[in-house]
Structure 1
Amino acid sequence: MLCANQLCLSIGEKVILDDVGLTLQPGEMLAVLGPNGAGKSTLLKALSGDIPELAHSISLNGKRLKHWTPASLAQYRAVMPQFVQLTFAFSVEEVIETSLRHPMPSALRNTHIQQMLSLFDAEHLRHRNYLSLSGGEQQRVQLARVISQLETLPIQEPQYLFLDECTSSLDLTHQHQVFQVLKNMAKEKNRAVLVILHDLNLAAQYADRILLMKAGRGVALGGVKEVLDATQLTEVYEYPIDVIEHPGGWPLVIPAHYSLVA
């Protein structure tokens, strides 16, 4: 389990995180929602171990982050930041290879790369120049890369996946394909998935729990129906929002018509 307690971070007079706490259980998907500037990406960086001054307040599998070496931490958690920039003309295959901790026999490596890319409908991109891909294609390759990082390690303890807006460039079909893969992976491989989203309806359909943030604070943390409350969302997003029940049983979030004309 991952535990974070009373995370506080300021830069100058700007409060970035204000007493944020959460737990992340193996087998679950936790969606982090909130408006721009709420502190979501900073929280993900902290949980990933990339903010040393907060490492004493976060534990992973019972061990404080400050006691993990980068090499050991990489065996238990994989991170896909919001922006992944490559300046060299790697092939897609080479991008996936960067996730491999140890060399593999050629046949095994080829099979592994093909399997990872096929998870996200990207196997046909294998020999393409990564820089020539569309934004959505690049996101799917990066998803394959971070999953590959965890798949190649013979770890018995829980592993964690941190994703920052990992479907922001994807079409509707690929968005749902990605979340189906992530949901199945969490359940079948007992991994914990934390994903930052702006699409509240994707969170409603796939998340087990939701953390709602605003101005660096955790406004609500709980079940999907509990957090996706119309009054609460309207207050956090400062925009009128309605919530009805989808025929599938999950909340359906609908921004209300709002006229700027008096």
Structure 2
Amino acid sequence: MTEINADRLRASLGAYAGVDVVSTTGSTNADLLAAAATGTPDRTVLIAEEQTAGVGRRARTWVSPKGAGIYLSVLLRPHGVPFAKLGSLAIVAGLAVTDLTAELGVDAALKWPNDVLAGPDRGKCAGILAEAVATDESAVVLGIGLNVRPLGPGVEPGPGGLPPTSLAEHGARTTDRTEIASVLLSALGERESRWRAAAGDLSRAGLLDDYRSRCETLGQQVRVLLPGETSLVGTASDIDPSGQLVVTDEQGRQRMVFAGDVVHLRAVP
């Protein structure tokens, strides 16, 4: 197993203030959330070879075995972007991951709000988590967990029964994790710069149509588990410029969903 080469990454990623690679940590997101309070600069990247307490949405565990994936977080300080728009960074990151999968020759698609699915069976190969910094409303930590190699036996399916999968299982042209991290962070830097220049407006940034075209949630009948353990069933009909999912319910009313777990029930004819 070849470790991620921090020097190679730094040489290829001039747009970032700093790129560090650690052997192991609990959670790269937690580390950068803590570091944000100490003045750590905008566009600081932390990558771990292994996470022992990786966290996804709704405080779920993200399995992060040593050497099997890319486990990274980026501290962003997008001054000028309203706090209400920071959640749409998950959309930006999803596009960057699918830019990467296209570069690697892997068939992949997006599942709103934060999953990347790969292969004909649409297993989950990546998850995304954006967390606002409690001490600074203009700062956010964006985490991406990406399976490069198979995780091995005993890994349970995620929400909605999605089985885990990896880039290697779907013919990625390389499993060199340094190269993959470089391509991913370059794509993220380009997408995030456009998002930031548009003050977080996905449509004005030219990102919304790209996301709609890559999001397999659209056109599906879905069940959305909402905060408070309520649920909504309907057709996923659109994504709005702030990244909210538009669901047309069984009475024909449009409902806007900012956060929730989505289960694909079936495609709508």
- TM norm structure 1: 0.25
Larger radius of gyration: 1
Relative contact order, higher structure (CA 8 A, sep 6+): 1
